[in-house]
């Protein structure tokens, strides 16, 4: 569906949200495969540590929700690299939340980081990539965006909207030569999921997640979802009528 990416030698990759978790693991593995990688996040020290031993890597620290800061970083990369082959949006915010715990400040934070910022960044990148005549965008969403789930009252809707956005971009951009990837992980052991107070089924490491993502890029898949022993069950649940879906979710989550 997308142009497969198998040879990473000298590929120009920008990973946003790379100071820890999936983003950091993906940056490390792509550097090992010979890619030129730029990493961005707010924590400059973590980014510098990540790229310290790689002359082909760049660290650009900024707040992803600051559109002007994103524009400056984008200008710098296009000026230095003469183009970008792949941008991966890994930045995310999460707070477990039941309906009676809804908090306006947390809602605004998750909407801003998980949805508004990627959309605003795509608005800046797409004209450049179309002019370039090639390139790819990859959005890290979540299986929490498939259907409503307990403790995801604010997080889930932001990821559902991001899934919809990636699907829409694919329909518009694939005929014009650009690739759009949608990445839907299950539970990955990151600082973000450390906030969960429940057992996370099929939990995997950030390194395993990065391997799955790279394999998905190699297949040219639109959707890259993992671990499949977990995500296929959630995909099946998407097909069920509401009555059966709600009953099964309550039974298995005990919430």
242 a catalytic residue: no
Element (H, E) at 117: helix 117-132
Closest to 158 in 3D by CA, of 107, 193, 98: 107
The DSSP secondary-structure symbol of 146 reads S
Token pair recorded at residue 231: 């995500």
How far apart (Å, rounded) are the C-alpha atoms in residues 38 and 107?
A: 29
Contact (Cβ atoms closer than 8 angstroms) between residue 24 and residue 51:
no
Helix 67-81 vs helix 117-132: crossing angle, to nearest 10: 30
DSSP E strand stretches across the chain: 12-16, 36-41, 57-61, 86-89, 136-140, 179-185, 223-226
Closest Cα to residue 27, out of 209, 163, 232? 209
What SS3 class is residue 178?
A: coil
Query: Using CA atoms, how far apart are residues 212 and 19, in angstroms rounded to an integer?
Result: 19
Q: Among the options 155, 170, 232, 245, which is catalytic?
A: 155
**CA-closest candidate to residue 154, choices 92, 242, 197, 94:** 94
Q: Which of 65, 66, 54, 60 is nearest to 84 (CA)?
A: 60
Catalytic residues: 155
């Amino acid at each position: 569906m997308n142009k497969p990416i198998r040879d990473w030698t000298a590929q120009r990759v920008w990973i946003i949200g790379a100071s820890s978790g999936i983003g950091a693991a993906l940056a490390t593995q792509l550097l090992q495969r010979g890619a030129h990688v730029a990493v961005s996040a707010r924590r400059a020290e973590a980014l510098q540590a990540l790229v310290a031993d790689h002359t082909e890597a760049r660290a650009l620290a900024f707040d992803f929700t600051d559109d002007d800061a994103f524009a400056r970083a984008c200008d710098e990369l296009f000026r230095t690299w003469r183009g970008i082959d792949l941008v991966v949006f890994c930045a995310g915010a999460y707070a477990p939340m039941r309906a009676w715990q809804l908090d306006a400040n947390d809602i605004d934070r998750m909407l801003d980081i998980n949805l508004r910022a990627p959309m605003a960044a795509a608005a800046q990148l797409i004209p450049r990539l179309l002019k370039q005549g090639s390139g790819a965008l990859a959005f890290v969403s979540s299986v929490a965006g498939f259907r409503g789930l307990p403790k995801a009252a604010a997080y889930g809707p932001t990821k559902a909207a991001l899934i919809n956005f990636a699907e829409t971009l694919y329909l518009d951009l694939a005929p014009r030569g650009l690739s759009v990837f949608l990445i839907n992980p299950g539970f990955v052991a990151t600082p973000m999921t450390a906030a969960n107070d429940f057992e996370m089924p099929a939990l995997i490491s950030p390194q395993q997640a990065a391997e799955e993502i790279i394999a998905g890029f190699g297949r040219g898949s639109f959707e890259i979802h993992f671990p499949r022993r977990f995500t296929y069950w959630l995909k099946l649940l998407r097909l069920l009528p509401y009555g059966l879906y709600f009953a099964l979710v309550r039974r298995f989550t005990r919430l």
